[in-house]
């Protein structure tokens, strides 16, 4: 059973006659609105909703209830206090709930328990006096209020604000207002409440005041290492996460604003190739790696490799394995909080040479020879095979006289990267 709250003006004998206390264990059956006592405007209709059970039955000793077997009913006020009962089954067990309904024309008065001309940041207690014990009460706006429905609320507005208390009893509404006036002194730091920077970065903090100058302004820091006065803008270079405050005194009011500067750092940014070579052949596996770091020292660190050429591992890892394709600068972007850095490494790749040999498919008679002319771009060491019946092994234009059909292959090696081209020679045998 809910607790019941009574107005002192109601005779106890009437209340006792209307309601006898009954001890019930905790139950899930409930009447909505969920209040022990609800108020209605005289001659108005109240909507009640059953919740938590089934097979509902509504009743009242003094008013009639239409559709009393429904979960939602409408009750017409008869301008006197009355009681509404609800019976229902919860998991097969019969349970009960009840609610007092008190007709009352809303009465509201608003007062401030403190001075309403205050410095910014000062609490002002506002009280709404109602004849409903706060039932149906709402405060607007909600900015700077400790509660929007209490009879006693605390207001701490940033600027002069008029608060409206609204008492609404089933459509009957009364409004009252009270204004909290804020004295002029104001100071604001232009940055957001939290700023992330990278270690070694200088940050300019900018404050504004309602006077437009820094007279009466003082900067301090949470570590006590920074103090500065009479400046609207200051440069800070913290080496650890620090909170900075600006305090402004004017006209007897002191007001403070603050900014939390979070200092982040990055691990040692160095990328090396393994194996380490002056150049690489196309198709080689190369690991782009950096010194290891302890992840717990850099929570939230992120990596991104680009461009995506020959990636063999995810592009979000600290190290990367690639299959070389062509000469490329690979970049890794690393960021954490206010730190971001992009580092690159150049991987020079020697692509296979385009070799041509003329004649392309020569035919000779047994005992004859033919001169092969090889051409390619760039430099490279030449080697012909096989080594039999050929005039030179390390030139571009050897003369060959094979005794049978043979395919000769030239291999050009530039900085350890070989490229090959073959030419078949048909030897016609005498008949």
The per-residue pLDDT for 45 is 87
Instruction: State the Cα–Cα distance between residues 328 and 189, nearest whole angstrom.
Output: 46
Residue 5 predicted with pLDDT over 70: no
Give me the mean pLDDT over the 268-277 stretch. 95
Lowest mean per-residue pLDDT among 182-196, 337-351, 353-367, 381-395: 182-196
Q: Specify whether domain 12-103 bears CATH 2.60.40.10.
A: yes
Handedness of CA 195, 199, 203, 205 (dihedral sign): positive
Residue 43 predicted with pLDDT over 60: yes
Confidence of residue 7 (pLDDT cuts 50, 70, 90): very low
What CATH number is given for 108-182 in this structure? 2.60.40
Pairing of strands 285-289, 194-198: unpaired
User: How many residues appear in the chain?
Assistant: 431
| Backbone phi, psi, residue 368, to 5° | -90, 170
Domain 356-428, CATH number (from 2.40.10.10, 3.40.50.300, 2.60.40.10, 2.60.40.420): 2.60.40.10
Residue 16 predicted with pLDDT over 80: no
Contacts of 141 (CB under 8 A, 6+ apart): 161, 163
| Backbone phi, psi, residue 210, to 5° | -70, -20
Pairing of strands 253-264, 242-250: antiparallel
Percentage with pLDDT > 70 across the chain: 94
The per-residue pLDDT for 126 is 97
Instruction: State the Cα–Cα distance between residues 406 and 403, nearest whole angstrom.
Output: 8
Q: Do the domains at 272-350 and 356-428 have one common CATH topology?
A: yes
The per-residue pLDDT for 23 is 37
Bridge partners of residue 263, in order along the sequence: 197
Confidence of residue 21 (pLDDT cuts 50, 70, 90): very low
Percentage with pLDDT > 90 across the chain: 77
Residue 10 predicted with pLDDT over 80: no
Query: What does the block give as tokens for 410?
Result: 């030239």
Bridge partners of residue 245, in order along the sequence: 220, 258
The per-residue pLDDT for 250 is 86
Per-residue pLDDT tens over the stretch 152-172: 999 999 889 999 999 999 889
The per-residue pLDDT for 11 is 39
Lowest mean per-residue pLDDT among 12-21, 27-36, 84-93: 12-21
- Per DSSP, 295 falls in state G
CB atoms under 10 Å from CB of 129, counted, come to: 14
- Residue-averaged pLDDT of the chain: 90
Give me the mean pLDDT over the 74-91 stretch. 89
Lowest mean per-residue pLDDT among 68-82, 189-203, 266-280, 358-372: 68-82
Residue 327 predicted with pLDDT over 50: yes
Residue 20 predicted with pLDDT over 70: no
Confidence of residue 42 (pLDDT cuts 50, 70, 90): confident
Confidence of residue 24 (pLDDT cuts 50, 70, 90): very low
Residue 8 predicted with pLDDT over 90: no
Residue 80 predicted with pLDDT over 90: no
The per-residue pLDDT for 431 is 76
Confidence of residue 77 (pLDDT cuts 50, 70, 90): confident
Domain ranges across the chain: 12-103, 108-182, 187-259, 272-350, 356-428
Instruction: State the Cα–Cα distance between residues 71 and 83, nearest whole angstrom.
Output: 17
Per-residue pLDDT tens over the stretch 204-244: 999 999 889 999 999 999 999 898 888 999 999 999 999 99
Please compute, for residue 89, the number of CA atoms within 13 A of its CA located in the half-sphere on the CB side.
Answer: 5
CA-CA distances (angstroms) from residue 239 to 198, 199, 228? 9, 6, 18
Give me the mean pLDDT over the 18-41 stretch. 70
Give me the mean pLDDT over the 394-413 stretch. 96
Per-residue pLDDT tens over the stretch 101-118: 999 899 999 999 999 999
| Backbone phi, psi, residue 290, to 5° | -135, 165
Confidence of residue 27 (pLDDT cuts 50, 70, 90): low
The per-residue pLDDT for 430 is 86
Residue 60 predicted with pLDDT over 70: yes
Confidence of residue 64 (pLDDT cuts 50, 70, 90): confident
Q: Which fold has domain 272-350?
A: Immunoglobulin-like (2.60.40)
Confidence of residue 121 (pLDDT cuts 50, 70, 90): confident
């Amino acid at each position: 059973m809910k607790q019941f709250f009574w107005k002192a003006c109601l005779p106890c004998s009437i209340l006792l006659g209307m309601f006898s206390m009954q001890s019930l264990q905790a139950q899930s059956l409930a009447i909505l609105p969920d209040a022990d006592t609800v108020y209605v405007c005289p001659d108005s209709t109240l909507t009640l909703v059953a919740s938590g059970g089934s097979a509902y039955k509504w009743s009242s000793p003094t008013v009639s209830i239409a559709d009393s077997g429904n979960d939602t009913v409408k009750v017409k006020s008869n301008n006197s206090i009355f009681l509404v009962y609800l019976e229902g089954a919860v998991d097969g067990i019969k349970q009960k709930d009840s609610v007092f309904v008190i007709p009352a024309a809303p009465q509201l008065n608003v007062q401030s328990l403190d001075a309403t001309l205050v410095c910014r940041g000062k609490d002002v207690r506002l009280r709404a006096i109602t004849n409903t014990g706060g039932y149906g009460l709402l405060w607007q706006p909600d900015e700077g209020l400790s509660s929007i429905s209490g009879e006693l609320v605390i207001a701490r507005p940033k600027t002069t604000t008029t608060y409206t208390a609204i008492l609404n009893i089933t459509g009957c509404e009364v409004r009252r207002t009270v204004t909290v006036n804020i004295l002029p002194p104001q100071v604001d730091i232009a940055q957001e409440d939290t700023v992330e920077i990278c270690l070694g970065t200088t940050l300019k903090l900018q404050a504004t005041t309602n006077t437009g100058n820094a007279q009466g302004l003082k900067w301090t820091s949470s570590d006590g290492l920074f103090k500065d006065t009479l400046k609207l803008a200051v440069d800070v270079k913290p080496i650890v996460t620090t909170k900075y405050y600006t305090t402004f005194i004017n006209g007897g009011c002191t007001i403070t604003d603050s900014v939390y500067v979070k200092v982040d750092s990055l691990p040692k940014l160095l990328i090396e190739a393994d194996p380490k070579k002056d150049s690489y052949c196309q198709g080689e596996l190369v690991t782009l790696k950096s010194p290891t770091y302890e992840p717990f020292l850099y929570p939230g660190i992120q990596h991104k490799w680009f461009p995506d050429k020959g990636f063999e591992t995810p592009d979000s890892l600290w190290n990367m394995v690639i299959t070389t394709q062509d000469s490329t600068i690979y970049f890794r972007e690393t960021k954490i909080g206010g730190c971001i850095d992009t580092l690159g490494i150049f991987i020079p790749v020697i692509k296979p040479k385009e070799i041509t040999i003329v004649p392309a498919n020569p035919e000779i008679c047994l005992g004859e020879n033919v001169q092969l002319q090889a051409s390619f771009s760039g430099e490279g060491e030449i080697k012909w095979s096989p080594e039999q019946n050929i005039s030179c092994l390390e030139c571009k234009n050897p003369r060959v006289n094979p005794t049978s059909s043979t395919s000769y292959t030239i291999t050009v090696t530039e900085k350890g990267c070989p490229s090959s081209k073959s030419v078949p020679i048909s030897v016609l045998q005498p008949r």
